[in-house]
Amino acid sequence: MCSVLQAHKDLHFVHVRQGGLYWVATTTADTSPFTIIEFLNRLTALVKDYCGSLSEKSVQMNFALIYELLDEVVDYGYIQTTSSDVLKNFIQTEAVSSRPFNLFDLSNVSLFGAETQQSKVAPSSAATRPIQSSREQGGKNEIFVNVIERMSVVIGSNGILMKADVEGEIRVKCYMPSCSEMRIGLNEEFSIGKSQLRGYGATVRVDECSFHQAVRLDEFDSHQILRLCPSQGEQTVMQYHLSDDLPSAPPFRLFPAIERDSGGRLLMYMKLRCDLSPKSAAINVSATIPVPKGSVSLSQELSSPDQSAELKLQSRAIVWQIPRFPGGTQLSALFKLEVPGLSSASMLEVGPVGLNFELPKFTATGLQIRFLRLSPVQPGPLQRWVRYVTHSDSYTIRV
């Protein structure tokens, strides 16, 4: 992996990686690399706002728009502005969406396709359209508030939780040409700091919290309300962190059994349990199981037909795929590996198991949006969407 900052003669190269693309800036001046990194991150956010998404395809389809953005953002190498509110008065090129907006498209139920608490479903492409497209949608006003968390968990071979960290953020994406003050109410029992007591498990607590500079906090300590006037596009209004004190049990438990049969094959029996509420479900679950060197073939017995498993010889691991995993259920798999020269020492090479997953409508910290209000009330119809999703960052189970 190349360094973020590189120098060649009198040139300095700084890059970030977003949307599977490298965004690079060069300078000959003695400039702080952190300033350039921050600028590149803001530039990618602008491109995402104006193009609808960050991908090679969207960049190719909107090259003229991105060139116009750069022309307004940077003047003779000097940064002028990265504010979408300022730029909307100058940008004339219309975005070409890499995925046409379809109001009835519900095929991809993920971060922007999960059900709300009112059992309403937003189109999966609804929050990935360009901010300027609201003019083409008949002046449609929408606000998306997304609570996104990432879990890092280590569970010992005895099933005891050894480490649990949660990184979370609240993102607001605004499709309104002009927005009045927004008030976001969090859980009434929300608290910050390790010294706070949970109180019979009812308190929603995080260790640390930081806010966007535009957020006003005069009502936060007393009423847990965030106040801001969001600009068009996407912005992260709050980031938070919680360590080693999850309010509920980890979402997955693994019960492994590993042995060698009479024919010299390695047998791995895996029972994976989802401890979410029966009303919830995990999606896109993938378990990666490292196997001994020299493994040549795999046979399998899976507990349901929608599961799949494959031996990846290059990475020396079995990848067990589960498209949908309802809460309160248990799935199992029996893997039979052909390993020439299998020994007791090579059996110790199995594991640890790594899980990747997505949990719609779920937050590991228990953080919830109590209400979302605009003051004064906006003229015309306004749609407000709140999404909750938890992703695995690093979920490791030792065997």
d(CA 349, CA 386): 44
- pLDDT in the model for residue 389: 94
Q: What is the pLDDT along the chain (399 residues), one digit of tens a residue?
A: 567 888 888 888 888 888 888 889 998 877 888 888 888 888 888 888 788 778 888 888 888 888 888 888 888 888 888 887 788 778 777 777 665 444 434 333 344 333 333 334 454 445 556 666 544 444 577 888 999 999 999 999 998 999 999 999 999 988 776 667 889 999 988 888 875 454 445 578 899 999 998 899 999 988 999 998 888 788 899 999 999 888 888 999 999 999 988 888 899 999 999 999 999 999 999 999 999 988 899 999 999 999 999 999 889 999 999 999 999 999 999 999 998 888 888 888 898 999 999 999 999 999 999 998 887 666 667 788 899 999 999 999 998
Dihedral angle, C-alpha 378, 379, 383, 385, nearest 10 °: 0
d(CA 365, CA 241): 9
Q: 129: helix, coil or strand? A: coil
According to CATH, the topology of domain 252-360 is Immunoglobulin-like (2.60.40)
According to CATH, the topology of domain 129-149+161-245+367-388 is Immunoglobulin-like (2.60.40)
Give the helix/strand (H/E) hosting 357. strand 353-360
d(CA 40, CA 31): 14
- pLDDT in the model for residue 177: 67
Of 390, 250, 399, the residue nearest 317 (C-alpha) = 399
- pLDDT in the model for residue 380: 67
- pLDDT in the model for residue 125: 47
Domain with CATH 3.30.450.60 in the chain: 5-87
- pLDDT in the model for residue 193: 84
According to CATH, the topology of domain 5-87 is Beta-Lactamase (3.30.450)
- pLDDT in the model for residue 86: 80
d(CA 181, CA 229): 5
Domain with CATH 2.60.40.1170 in the chain: 129-149+161-245+367-388, 252-360
* CA-CA-CA-CA torsion sign (311, 317, 318, 322): negative
